[in-house]
């Protein structure tokens, strides 16, 4: 599309240049012609007047001479005449000629040369042509006659040429543009859209519908034949993949893939609809440079839930956050996603700025987030924030109940701490709904959680779910203990279930993971990765990497202090080592996050100022969001990845780093307070509060033999291969669905 418009605009520019060039040439030729014609006619008039005036001048009949000159005033383009004696003095002039024209004339040089001469002049903003012709008596020059012509018409004629040609150019451009739009929209764009629709139908398995779309356009028939062959091959490949996935279903030791998950959903759920609820939407539409761009937010939750929704084709309810979300969705806020290959429905929920401030920035991120992470940041509890939190949970509950109104035994997957009280709201209206709540952040001890003034309402709301999932067994234990101390219920530690008001809720650990794809890095990707590093100014021999949101729970300040301590202990690495910290700005509406952003920036500048030398800086801070593809390039180039959260439910960055290392090299340095530390046994485990441990672990990573690197990385990659995001999705879904 952009290339087509480039061609159109290029053609218009070229046409304009040609027309303007011809216009300049035409104006020049017309000007030369008009000037030559004016000079010629003036010379003829001058000779004619000279024959009549010369005898009267010789006779010195001034009165008769004046009468003759007055007859030729303002006759068409002739402005008048003037007669001079042999000394250049004015003898007589037409009444219409101004004194400025008569007095400024220079007849003396003409008489001295005894040769007629013309000259253009500008008098009183008017262009004139003066032609002076010597008069004779017996071969002696006795005076001169001047003929004055108005030359303004030449400029007017040239202006008319410009006006006419520019108007013609405008009409040509307009007609051309209209024709181009018509051709683009009706003869090219619409058929191509239909062709794309047909290809999508074929790719989705509806081959007959797709081929019918091609048959309507004979121009695409040759292409249709080739696509038909491709679709046949695709169908065979799908059947083979489905059969392979079915066979894998029977073997627990085979790796989980997207195809195996789809087969699991078909076999186990048998067409039951799934409804997911989350604060963050999986696809965001935004206006960027006069264009609507669809992006996928960086979120472990989105990464984990997306495969489930694609496999079962359900409905995902989420808060609308993009400035183009409304115009891309229908009247009910629904849109089919993924955009290039729709598999399920995204239903966007709009909340007001007041609701967002209280629900998201307030109670979710200033109260529950620091409360659950327990990183020495005091939670802020406001009554009005809790009211907005309840209101937004109620709004989502109302929308969800509308969606499941005619669905028998719906499966509902509620995501994270934003909707702690939603399960109970749904269960009250739809007891037959099977609800799974996954808590993506840590669950603190009972003593910490009970700080929250609304802790009982939150616990009762969560117990409306049939399954509550946490990342680790420890968080499950903490939750069970919290409920046992605060809620009158039956806590069964053998079955790990809680019975509250006759309803049973099961508590299970489901350690979330990432997708895993084995294979070798291509040379082109390695080269691209090095070029990507150079984009950020990284050119040193050794490279460390950190990837986090600018969040105070991620231990970024402690990490920077560890890098500083490393350079102090091991000065040999100065100018040879660079630490690249990718840290996109997060939750700017929360004051604590704005302060943390400033602190990280100040700390980075201080350390760089301390060590920088010859253009080298030890730390490069990049506050921009990078895609998964771009992050993978960096993961594969780094000597080590430093993951130092002060408290984290799981931390998928550590798993993404391991999954990206197809070469089985590189070192993962991981905080002991991350849930992932329980699974990734090949990592160097540290206490992120200790700068000394961080510094020594960096040194250990940079000096670790390649054989040891391979051994550690292979162990971690095997763990990810055995328990990836597809297995997580299947086990969580199975746990919810099996409660019928």
pLDDT in tens, 471-527: 999 999 999 999 999 999 999 999 999 999 999 999 999 999 988 876 666 666 778
pLDDT computed for residue 74 by the predictor? 66
Q: How confident is the model at residue 662 (pLDDT cuts 50, 70, 90)?
A: very high
Give the mean model confidence (pLDDT) for residues 336-361: 93
- d(CA 687, CA 385) in angstroms, rounded, equals 34
pLDDT tens digits, 216-268: 555 556 666 666 666 666 665 655 555 555 555 545 557 788 778 888 887 88
**Confidence check: pLDDT of 383 > 70:** yes
Q: What is the mean pLDDT of the chain?
A: 87
Give the mean model confidence (pLDDT) for residues 15-19: 82
In the numeric block, which tokens belong to residue 3? Answer: 């290339």
Which of 11-20, 332-341, 437-446 is predicted most confidently? 437-446
pLDDT tens digits, 185-204: 666 667 777 777 777 666 66
Residue 300 or 243, more confident = 300
pLDDT computed for residue 216 by the predictor? 56
What the chain holds in terms of domains, given with CATH numbers, is 2-150 (3.30.450.20), 172-241 (no CATH), 260-513+727-740 (3.40.50.2000), 524-722 (3.40.50.2000)
For the chain, state the CA radius of gyration.
43
Q: Which of 625, 619, 520, 512 is nearest to 565 (CA)?
A: 619
pLDDT tens digits, 687-739: 999 999 999 999 999 999 999 999 999 999 999 998 998 889 889 989 998 88
Give long-range contacts, CB 8 A cutoff, 24+ apart: 38-43: 38/129, 38/149, 38/151, 38/154, 39/118, 39/129, 39/131, 41/149, 42/118, 42/129, 42/131, 42/147, 42/149, 43/116, 43/118, 43/131, 43/133
In the numeric block, which tokens belong to residue 630? Answer: 């771009």
**Confidence check: pLDDT of 645 > 80:** yes
- d(CA 511, CA 729) in angstroms, rounded, equals 10
Of the candidate ranges 180-184, 330-334, 425-429, 484-488, the one whose mean pLDDT is the lowest: 180-184
pLDDT tens digits, 518-573: 666 666 677 888 888 988 999 999 999 999 999 999 999 999 999 999 999 999 99
pLDDT computed for residue 234 by the predictor? 63
- d(CA 257, CA 683) in angstroms, rounded, equals 25
pLDDT computed for residue 101 by the predictor? 85
Give the mean model confidence (pLDDT) for residues 447-456: 95
- d(CA 601, CA 98) in angstroms, rounded, equals 78
Give the mean model confidence (pLDDT) for residues 209-220: 57
What percentage of the chain has pLDDT greater than the value 90? Answer: 51
């Amino acid at each position: 599309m952009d290339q087509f418009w480039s061609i159109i605009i290029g053609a218009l520019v070229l046409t304009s240049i040609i027309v303007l060039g011809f216009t300049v040439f035409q104006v020049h030729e017309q000007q030369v012609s008009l000037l030559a014609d004016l000079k010629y006619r003036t010379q003829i008039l001058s000779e004619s007047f000279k024959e009549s005036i010369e005898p009267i001048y010789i006779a010195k009949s001034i009165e008769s001479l004046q009468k003759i000159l007055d007859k030729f005033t303002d006759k068409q383009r002739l402005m008048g005449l003037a007669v001079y004696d042999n000394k250049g003095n004015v003898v007589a002039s037409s009444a219409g000629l101004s004194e400025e024209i008569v007095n400024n004339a220079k007849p003396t040089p003409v008489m001295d040369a005894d040769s007629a001469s013309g000259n253009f002049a500008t008098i009183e903003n008017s262009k004139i042509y003066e032609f002076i012709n010597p008069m004779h008596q017996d071969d002696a020059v006795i005076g001169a006659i001047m003929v004055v012509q108005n030359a303004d018409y030449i400029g007017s004629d040239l202006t008319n040429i410009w006006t006419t040609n520019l108007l013609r150019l405008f009409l040509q451009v307009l007609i051309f543009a209209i024709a181009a739009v018509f051709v683009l929209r009706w003869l090219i764009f619409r058929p191509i859209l239909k062709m794309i629709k047909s290809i999508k139908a074929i790719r989705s398995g509806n081959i007959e519908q797709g081929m019918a779309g091609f048959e309507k356009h004979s121009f695409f028939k040759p292409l249709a034949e080739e696509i038909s062959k491709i679709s046949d091959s695709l169908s065979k490949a799908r059947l083979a993949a489905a059969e392979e996935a079915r066979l894998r279903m029977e073997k627990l030791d085979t790796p989980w893939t997207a195809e195996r998950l789809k087969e699991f959903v078909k076999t186990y759920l048998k067409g039951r609809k799934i409804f997911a609820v989350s604060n963050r939407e999986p696809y965001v539409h935004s206006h960027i440079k006069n264009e609507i761009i669809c992006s996928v937010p960086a979120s472990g939750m989105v990464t984990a839930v997306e495969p489930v929704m694609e496999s079962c084709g359900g409905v995902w309810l989420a808060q609308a956050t993009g400035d183009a979300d409304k115009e891309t969705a229908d009247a009910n806020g629904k849109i089919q996603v993924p955009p290039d290959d729709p598999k399920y429905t995204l239903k966007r929920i709009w909340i007001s700025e007041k609701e967002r401030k209280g629900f998201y920035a307030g109670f979710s991120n200033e109260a529950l987030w620091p409360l659950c992470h327990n990183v020495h940041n005091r939670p802020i509890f406001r009554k009005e924030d809790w009211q907005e939190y309840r209101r937004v949970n109620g709004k989502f509950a109302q929308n969800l109940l509308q969606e499941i109104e005619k669905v028998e035994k719906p499966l509902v997957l509620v995501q994270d701490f934003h909707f702690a009280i939603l399960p109970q709201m749904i269960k009250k209206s739809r007891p037959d709904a099977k609800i799974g709540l996954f808590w993506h952040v840590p669950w603190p001890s009972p003593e910490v959680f009970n700080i929250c003034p609304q802790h009982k309402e939150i616990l009762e709301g969560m117990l409306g779910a049939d399954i509550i999932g946490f990342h680790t067994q420890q968080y499950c234990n903490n939750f069970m203990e919290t409920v046992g101390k605060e809620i009158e219920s039956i806590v069964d530690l053998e079955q790990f279930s809680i019975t509250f008001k006759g309803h049973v809720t099961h508590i299970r650990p489901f350690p979330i993971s990432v997708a895993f794809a084995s294979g070798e890095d291509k040379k082109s990707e390695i080269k691209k990765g090095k070029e990507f590093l150079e984009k950020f100014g990284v050119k040193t021999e050794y490279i460390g990497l950190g990837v986090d949101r600018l969040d105070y729970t991620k231990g970024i300040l402690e990490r920077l202090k560890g890098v500083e301590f490393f350079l102090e202990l091991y000065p040999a690495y100065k100018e040879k080592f660079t630490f690249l910290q990718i840290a996109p700005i997060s939750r700017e509406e929360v004051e604590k996050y704005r302060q943390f952003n400033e602190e990280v920036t100040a700390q980075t500048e201080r350390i760089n100022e301390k060590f920088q030398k010859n253009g080298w800086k030890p730390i490069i801070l990049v506050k921009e969001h990078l895609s998964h593809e771009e992050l993978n390039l960096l993961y594969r180039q780094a000597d080590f990845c430093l993951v130092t959260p002060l408290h984290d439910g799981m931390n998928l960055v550590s798993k993404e780093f391991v999954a990206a290392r197809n070469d089985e090299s590189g070192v993962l340095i991981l905080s002991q307070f991350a849930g992932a530390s329980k699974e990734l046994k090949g990592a160097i485990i540290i206490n992120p509060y200790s700068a000394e441990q961080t510094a020594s672990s960096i040194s250990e990573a940079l000096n670790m033999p390649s054989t040891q690197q391979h051994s550690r990385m292979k162990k971690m990659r095997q763990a990810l291969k055995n328990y990836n995001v597809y297995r997580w999705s299947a086990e969580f879904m199975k746990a919810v669905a099996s409660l019928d």
